A and B are shown apart, each in its own frame.
Chain A
Amino acid sequence: MAQFKLKRLLVPEKHDPATAEVLWQNEVHANRLTAIVMFCCSVFLILCMILTAVGVFVENPKTVYTSCTAALAWHLIPCIISYRYKFAKPWLKYILLLGLLIGQARIDCGLGYNVTLAILLPVVFSTRYYSAELTITVAAVSTVVFSTSTYLGALTGFTPADLNIVSIGVSHATVDYARRIMQHTFLPKWMLFAIISGVCAEIAGRGHYMVQRQANISQENSRIETELNTARAIQMHSLPEVEEFVKDRDVPFDLATSIVPAKEVGGDFFNYFYVDPTHLALLIADVSGKGVPAALYMMIAKLLLDSIGSTGKSPAHVLAEVNHLLCDKNLEEMFVTVWLGVLDLTSGEIITANAGHENPIICRADGTLEEITTKHGLVLGGIDGAHYRDEVLKLQPGDMLFVYTDGIPEANNPLEEMYGVERLKAALTAAEKTPTALVNAVSEDVARFVGVAPQFDDSTMLTLRLNRLLEREGLRVYPSQESIKEVQTYVESRMEEAGVPMKAVSKINIGLDEMYSNVVHHSNASWAEIICDADAEQVTVILRDNGIPFDPLNIPEPDVTLSADERHVGGLGIFMTKKMMNELTYRYVDGCNEVRMVLKYNESEANK
């Protein structure tokens, strides 16, 4: 039983807001219940008077009328007051219980034997307030009030004689008679009352504890819900947004995506990012299971796929490497199915690798569908050392690629039928051939099929339409020491074709030597791309690499006034290039360093 503290009656126990709210609502309900019961008692009291008047009750009418009328007032007035305040005042319970107590005592006073149970009523109702303190207090007050009422009733002759105990009439009421009533009637009744009061106090205390616990649980639940909502926001923000992705970019493709998690957080994800300016990586994945475990695993898998995927390695290599990392300490036996493709925007070729994921579908420009059924590798996180194979697909301008997770074909309707790949293909065939229309059409078709059946799996789609091919403009090399000659030759031949004057050729050669040797020696890049564009007025050389971000314009200029012995050559090359070029700019874009050199010359020189 909860610890009894009388002062809690005056100073309410401090509760957290949620518990206090639940307890307060309960108190309002209890007030209402007590008031209703008191109102019912009032009705019965009137009924008693009527039954006495018509002779059904043979009690002394005068006693009945006086007792009932007084009790009626004690019952009705608190009812009306509590109704007036809509049962919602903290002090109402005292008024109600006191009214009930005194009202019942007043009946007890006149009709003691007829209403033996009256003494219990206030205590029983006090339990409804879930406060052991209140119940015990009411029990104590009941003891005082009812002993007084019984005694006074006996003394004044209201209480009729119990013929088993005394054989005297009403007019013989004396102090001695009252003492005997107290001793033989009230005392045994009170003993029973004390036991019942104890039980009531225990019930009230227990009720209080239960309410508190329930409030804690619901508070915990709402905390979890808030956390899940935040987790969902984090998860959703980890996925790219098409609009933001294509913003300020001239992209030769359209993209559309859709993701619907079955729970707050899910295990499905997709991504698309530039590996370099002409290669777009696309991936879609589905983690086993759902909810929080899947979501945690998803974030790990996504991070690994993104970081290893952006190194420029082939999809099969990326999957093998990520698989190896996921297998390490994968105690929960989770796994993820992944389809990864790298689209060469200059040729339309997609190198793909599949780790146990659904077959992608290509919607050709002429309307035919092709399901790509190349052999799959094992899911990632399954067995360390699993092998994956690169397959090459080819997209022509106008072709669309559609990849999805199993939530689409495995969506079930109320008859437990599955949506299936055939229905998916039919929807794809019927849809208008833009990525957004395709995704919307499939979403709507699945929703129509599913109807009211609850879905248990996340469903995700990613669609790309290749609109045109990018022109490959430059030379792409592995930045080795040996490549320097190749790059020089390439740039020189481009300048020769355009008839760039000798002096400008030398300058460009110097600039190229400075910038490209930096890439070779310091960038750690796995590729470099050189674009040279020359016309009658200027030469533009763009140098890109996927190495460590390095802004050559951001290094301090050397002091060119020092003597030979004090001199260092560090930074001199970049300084020279800066001085010789008309424009030298640097930016880091799509994971690549990009240096752009522009050299202008006047026409007379160009004609030399």
Chain B
Amino acid sequence: MIIEKKIINKTLEIALTGRLDTVTAPDLESELTASIDGIEHLVMDFTKLEYISSAGLRVLLSAQKMMNEQGSMEVCHVNDSIREVFDITGFTDVLTIK
């Protein structure tokens, strides 16, 4: 998985390419922990993300919890597979998906 980060003012944009699963989720988690301080708006771009497993959901959930305290978070460009995962797990209601 490739993680691309962009910080503009207090907005952090993260674009993911590949898969967010057991193997790659820890990378995303450490990237987030490193950059999230002082961020008020987090955008996750899933355009090139193939799929996401529960390990990925765990990271998304903890990010969402952090952003609930310091601002907002949105997930955009979600493909069908990932949309289905979000639907099944109820994440559709938890995340802001655009």
A563: B residues at CB distance < 8 A: 93-94
Does A484 make an interface contact (CB < 8 A)? yes
Does A509 make an interface contact (CB < 8 A)? yes
B81: A residues at CB distance < 8 A: 503, 506-507, 510
Would you list which residues of chain B between 41 and 98 have a CB under 8 Å from chain A? 50-55, 57-58, 61, 64-65, 68, 80-81, 84-85, 88-91, 93-95
Does A223 make an interface contact (CB < 8 A)? no
Majority secondary structure of chain A interface residues (helix, strand, loop or mixed): helix
Does A452 make an interface contact (CB < 8 A)? no
Establish whether residues A580 and B88, one from each chain, have CB atoms under 8 Å apart when the complex forms. yes
A507: B residues at CB distance < 8 A: 51, 81
Quick check: which of B4-12, B18-26, B29-37 contacts chain A, the rest being far away? B18-26
Establish whether residues B88 and A509, one from each chain, have CB atoms under 8 Å apart when the complex forms. no
Establish whether residues A573 and B80, one from each chain, have CB atoms under 8 Å apart when the complex forms. no
Total interface residues on A, using CB and 8 Å? Answer: 29
A514: B residues at CB distance < 8 A: 53-54
Establish whether residues A572 and B23, one from each chain, have CB atoms under 8 Å apart when the complex forms. no
Given A509-B21, A561-B90, A564-B65, A576 and B54 touching (CB < 8 A)? yes
Total residue contacts A-B, CB cutoff 8 A: 78
Establish whether residues A567 and B88, one from each chain, have CB atoms under 8 Å apart when the complex forms. no
Establish whether residues B21 and A510, one from each chain, have CB atoms under 8 Å apart when the complex forms. yes
Given A576-B85, A576-B88, A484 and B64 touching (CB < 8 A)? no
Given A503-B81, A565-B68, A573-B55, A560 and B89 touching (CB < 8 A)? yes
Does A455 make an interface contact (CB < 8 A)? no
Interface size class of B (residues with CB under 8 A): 20 to 34
Establish whether residues B89 and A575, one from each chain, have CB atoms under 8 Å apart when the complex forms. yes
Q: How far is the CA of A503 from the CA of B84 in the complex (A)?
A: 10
B50: A residues at CB distance < 8 A: 506, 509
Q: How far is the CA of A510 from the CA of B49 in the complex (A)?
A: 13
Task: Give per-residue flags for A487-518: 1 if the beta carbon is below 8 A from chain B beta carbons, else 0.
Answer: 01000000000000001001101100110110
Does A569 make an interface contact (CB < 8 A)? yes
Q: How far is the CA of A488 from the CA of B24 in the complex (A)?
A: 13
A579: B residues at CB distance < 8 A: 88
Q: Which of B54, B55, B65, B88 has the most CB of A within 10 A?
A: B54
B64: A residues at CB distance < 8 A: 564
Establish whether residues B84 and A573, one from each chain, have CB atoms under 8 Å apart when the complex forms. no
13 A-B residue pairings within 8 Å (CB atoms): A485-B23, A510-B21, A510-B81, A514-B53, A560-B90, A560-B91, A564-B68, A567-B94, A569-B58, A572-B57, A573-B54, A576-B85, A576-B88
* A residues lining the B interface (CB < 8 Å): 481, 484-485, 488, 503, 506-507, 509-510, 513-514, 516-517, 520, 558, 560-565, 567, 569, 572-573, 575-576, 579-580
* B residues lining the A interface (CB < 8 Å): 19, 21-23, 50-55, 57-58, 61, 64-65, 68, 80-81, 84-85, 88-91, 93-95
